[in-house]
Amino acid sequence: MSRTEEINKMTENVYKGILDQFNPSLKNFVTMGKHYEKALTGVTVAAKGYFDALVKLGELASDSQGSKELGDTLFQMAEVHRQIQVQLEDVLKLFHSEMLAQLEQKLELDIKYLTATLKKYQSERRSQSESIERCQSQLKKLRRKSQGSRHPNKYGDREMQVKRHLQP
């Protein structure tokens, strides 16, 4: 395998490695993030039920003279819990909009870009290979004509042009 073919193979392997390994792993990461978001949303629903029960207990305790202090304490606990839930919901919204949605969008764009770039690279590579093969074929023909001719220098200029075209 020539050096050019090795470099071509390595380049294609880099593209394919990203498309076949890295991007699917990133896609899995986004999916796990969505599952995490869904689980936290479930926790939020359960926490709202807990908050409602805490408020109800506070109301019941506040109605009685003997447990008024307990009712006040339960209301304070409910307020702290409500503040924590509001913060959690805000963080959850940011997690979705700033991380998951952005990552998912960029991943889709990356996949499209890499696929198009790989196809373009392969097409250009194929075109260059065909051009080189044509030049090499012309060079062989010129050499044969030159060797079989009575005037071997007749094709020398043309041969030099083809050689220059082949050199990188």
Angle between helix 68-94 and 23-63 (nearest 10): 160
Per-residue pLDDT of the chain (168 residues; tens, 9 = 90+): 688 889 989 999 998 899 899 889 999 999 999 999 999 999 999 999 999 999 999 998 888 888 889 989 999 999 999 999 999 999 999 999 999 999 999 999 999 999 999 999 999 999 988 988 888 888 788 777 777 766 666 666 666 776 676 666
Taking CB atoms within 8 Å and a gap of at least 24, the contacts of 135-144 are 135/162, 135/165, 135/166, 136/166, 138/162, 139/163, 139/166
pTM of the model: 0.67
At the second CATH level, the architecture of 3-129 is: Up-down Bundle (1.20)
